C-alpha cells in the first residue's frame, strides 16, 4: 500500500468498486491511439492484455484511419487472444489528426481511471496498472501517477535502461510544471477533457490542466518501453521545429497557469526563441511575433516589474549586433534563467 488509508477511505473504495460492478463498468480504461503502427501494435496490445489486476479493465483502441495493416492485426488479436474480448476497436473514416483522435479516444473511456499507451510503445511490467491504481485509490489528493520507462529503438534494442535518474523528484504540483512525465506510463482520474486546449505538446498541456485538480506522483520504477523510430511524432521533426512546438505549447500554457507563474513561462518562451534563432534563423521573426502577441494578451495581469523585464528583453532582441557568435547563446540563456526562472 502506498501511503496507507483510513477505514473510511477503504469503505469509499469498496463503494466505488460496488457501483462499477453494478453498472457493469470496468474500473480502468486503457486509451490507445494508433496510426500506421502495423510493426508495433501487436506488442503494444499484448503489453496491456498481460496486466494482472484485482479489478476489471478495458482497452480502447482508436485508429486514425491508418492505410497500413493495423486494422487487420488488431482484429486478429480480438479474435484469437485469450483476453481479446477486452478490446474495443474503432477506425476513423478519415484522418482526424492526433489531437482530435486523442480526445475522441478519451471520450470513449467511461471508467473511473484512464491509462495511456500509444500503439508504438508497450508495457513490460504486468503489475503496472495494479501499482498505479492502488496508489491513486489510497491517495485522493493525487490526480496523476506516472512511472519511469526504458528507451528502445525500432529494433527493440535498449537505448537507455531508464529514462529518469534515481534522484528525480517524486511529487509535483502545478507550480513545478512543466516536467517530463512519459505519456505511455500515465494513469489518472477520468474527467471531462473537452476543455483541454490544443497544442503541439498536448501531453504537457494535459498534465498542466490536470494539475489544477490534484498533485502528480512518480513511482520511480521502470514499467514500460518508449520507442524511438523514424515514424514517431518526435523523431520525425527537425530540431528547429521541435523548439517551435515547445514555444507554441508554452504560449498555450499561459491560459492555464496561475498568474504568479507568468515570469517563469515568459523566461521559457524567450529561451525557446533563442534556441530557434541558432537552429533556424528563418523561423525566428514569426516566433518572436507570437511571443509579443502573447505578452499583449496577458500583460494587464502582470505586475509592473515583470512587464518592464519583458519589454527590456524585446529591446535586447532587436539589437542584432548580439547574434554574430554562437558563443553568445549560453550567456543569453543564463541571463534569461537569472531574470525570469531561477
Output the pLDDT for position 335. Answer: 82
pLDDT on residue 57: 99
Q: 234 or 287: whose pLDDT is higher?
A: 287
Q: Which residue has the higher pLDDT, 319 or 81?
A: 81
First vs last C-alpha separation in the chain: 36
pLDDT of residue 310: 96
Residue carrying C-alpha cell 534515481 = 166
Instruction: Give the model confidence (pLDDT) of 229-238 as tens digits.
Output: 765 555 445 8
pLDDT for residue 67 is more than 70: yes
Domain ranges of the chain: 7-227, 239-341
Answer whether 287's CB lies under 8 Å from 276's CB.
yes
- Tell me the C-alpha distance between 13 and 11, whole Å: 5
CB count within 10 Å of CB 194 equals 8
- Predicted confidence (pLDDT) per residue in 86-95, tens digit: 999 999 999 9
pTM: 0.88
pLDDT score, position 55: 98
Tell me what the mean pLDDT of segment 234-249 comes to. 82
pLDDT at 186 over 90: yes
> Contact at 8 Å (CB) between 153 and 159?
yes
Q: Is 254 a residue whose pLDDT tops 80? A: yes
Check residue 325 and give its pLDDT.
55
Query: What is the reported pLDDT for 278?
Result: 87
What mean pLDDT is predicted for residues 237-258?
94
Kindly report, residue by residue over 262-277, the tens digit of the pLDDT. 999 999 999 999 999 8
Tens of pLDDT, residues 124-179: 999 999 999 999 999 999 999 999 999 999 888 999 999 999 899 999 999 999 99
pLDDT for 4 equals 38
pLDDT of residue 160: 94
Average pLDDT over residues 224-231: 84
For 7-227, give the CATH class.
Answer: alpha beta
| HEC readout, the chain | CCCCCCHHHHHHHHHHHHHHHHCCCCCEEEEEEECCCCCCHHHHHHHHHCCCCCCCEEEEEEECCCCCCHHHHHHHHHHHCCCHHHEEEEECCCCCCHHHHHHHHHHHCCCCEEEECCCCCEECCCCHHHHHHHHHHHCCCEEEEEEEEEEECCCCCEEECCCCCCCCCCEECHHHCCCCCCHHHCEEECCCHHHCCCCCCHHHHHHHHHCCCCEEEEEEEEEEEEECCCCCCCCCCCHHHHHHHHHHHHHHHCCCCCHHHHHHHHHHHHHHHHHHHHHCHHHHHHHHHHHHHHHHHHHHHCCHHHHHHHHHHHHHHCCHHHHHCCHHHHHHHHHHHHHHHC
Residue of higher predicted confidence among 229 and 59: 59
Residue 21 has what pLDDT?
Answer: 47
Task: Indicate the average pLDDT of the chain.
Answer: 90
Q: Mean pLDDT, to the nearest integer, of 20-43?
A: 89
Interval 325-338 mean pLDDT? 77
Q: What percent of the chain has pLDDT over 90?
A: 77
Average pLDDT over residues 190-200: 95
Q: What is the structure's pLDDT at 320?
A: 66
Q: For 204-223, what is each residue's pLDDT tens digit?
A: 999 999 999 999 999 999 99
pLDDT recorded at residue 231: 58
* pLDDT at residue number 154: 85
pLDDT tier, 9 (very low <50, low <70, confident <90, very high otherwise) = very low
| Whether the bond into 273 is cis, omega within 30 of 0 | no
Provide the pLDDT for residue 35. 97
Sign of the dihedral defined by the CA atoms of residues 168, 174, 177, 181, in that order: positive
Amino acid at each position: 500500500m502506498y501511503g496507507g488509508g483510513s477505514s473510511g477511505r477503504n469503505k469509499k473504495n469498496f463503494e466505488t468498486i460496488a457501483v462499477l460492478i453494478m453498472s457493469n463498468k470496468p474500473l480502468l480504461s486503457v486509451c490507445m491511439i494508433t496510426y500506421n503502427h502495423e510493426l508495433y501494435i501487436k506488442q503494444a496490445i499484448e503489453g496491456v492484455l498481460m496486466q494482472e489486476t484485482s479489478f476489471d479493465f478495458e482497452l480502447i483502441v482508436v485508429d486514425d484511419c491508418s492505410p497500413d495493416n493495423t486494422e487487420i492485426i488488431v482484429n486478429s488479436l480480438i479474435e484469437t487472444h485469450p483476453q481479446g474480448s477486452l478490446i474495443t476497436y474503432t477506425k476513423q473514416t478519415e484522418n482526424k489528426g492526433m489531437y482530435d483522435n486523442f480526445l475522441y479516444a478519451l471520450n470513449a473511456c467511461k471508467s473511473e481511471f484512464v491509462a495511456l499507451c500509444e500503439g508504438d510503445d508497450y508495457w513490460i511490467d504486468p503489475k503496472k496498472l495494479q501499482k498505479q491504481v492502488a496508489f491513486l485509490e489510497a491517495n485522493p489528493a493525487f490526480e496523476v501517477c506516472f512511472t519511469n520507462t526504458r528507451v528502445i529503438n525500432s529494433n527493440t534494442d535498449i537505448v537507455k535502461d531508464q529514462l529518469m535518474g534515481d534522484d528525480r523528484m517524486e511529487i509535483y504540483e502545478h507550480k513545478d510544471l512543466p516536467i517530463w512525465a512519459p505519456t505511455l506510463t500515465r494513469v489518472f482520474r477520468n474527467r471531462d477533457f473537452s476543455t483541454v486546449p490544443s497544442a503541439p505538446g498536448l501531453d504537457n498541456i494535459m498534465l498542466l490542466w490536470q494539475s489544477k485538480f490534484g498533485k502528480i506522483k512518480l513511482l520511480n520504477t521502470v514499467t514500460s518501453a518508449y520507442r524511438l523510430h523514424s515514424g514517431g511524432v518526435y523523431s520525425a521533426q527537425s530540431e528547429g521545429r521541435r523548439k517551435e512546438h515547445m514555444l507554441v505549447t508554452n504560449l498555450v500554457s499561459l491560459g492555464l497557469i496561475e498568474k504568479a507563474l507568468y515570469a517563469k513561462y515568459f523566461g521559457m518562451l524567450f529561451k525557446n526563441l533563442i534556441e530557434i534563432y541558432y537552429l533556424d534563423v528563418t523561423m525566428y521573426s514569426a516566433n518572436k511575433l507570437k511571443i509579443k502577441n502573447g505578452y499583449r494578451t496577458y500583460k494587464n495581469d502582470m505586475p509592473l516589474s515583470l512587464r518592464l523585464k519583458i519589454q527590456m528583453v524585446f529591446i535586447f532582441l532587436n539589437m542584432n549586433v548580439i547574434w554574430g557568435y554562437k558563443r553568445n547563446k549560453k550567456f543569453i540563456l543564463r541571463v534569461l534563467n537569472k531574470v525570469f526562472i531561477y
